Amino acid sequence: MQSTDERSSSKVIIHTDGACKGNPGPGGWGATLAYGDKIKEIFGGAPETTNNRMELTAVIEALRCLTRPCAVQIVTDSQYVQKGVESWMSQWKRKNWRTSAGKPVANRDLWEELDHELSRHTVSWEWVRGHQGHAGNERADQLANQGVESITLSASHPQMTQ
């Protein structure tokens, strides 16, 4: 029988965030993955995107880091992502990725990728208010902004090619 401490350390805790400078505009995503005392940090970005796309991408990329099925707790400040998964996605899928108004679901490509990644794991969700001092959320926000910086720096300093 596992102790409570052993069970809680066998869960991967993921904090995610997205950022966008302009909406649309250059964007970034960031995530931390914690398993026991190990922490992995990831980030990336896109030159022309939206905040919602970056929020979704953060979760997708974090889940892609997991090499086997896991118990996962995702902590996000995005109600769009959390409610999308917990409240809306099952209806969208039943309606062939259409909203209740019959319109195509925005960001369908990412929702389908997220659905695939979620299917590999047992996932619980926690929403936190952004920019309120939650350490995991603040770090994910910093990483998302690093993602934006990586895009804006590469755009302002193009690589020389021969």
Hey, which residues are catalytic here?
A: 17-18, 55, 77, 131, 141
Nearest to 126 by CA among 46, 9, 14: 14
The three-class DSSP label of residue 40 is: strand
Give the closest residue to 78 by CA, choosing from 104, 103, 114: 114
CA distances from 30 to 17, 36, 98, 144 (A): 5, 20, 28, 4
- Residues 146, 30 contacting (CB under 8 angstroms): yes
The string of DSSP letters for 54-67 reads HHHHHHHHHHHT--
Q: Which two tokens stand for residue 124?
A: 């619980």
Burial category of 25 from C-beta neighbours within 10 Å (exposed 0-12, middle 13-18, buried 19 and up): middle
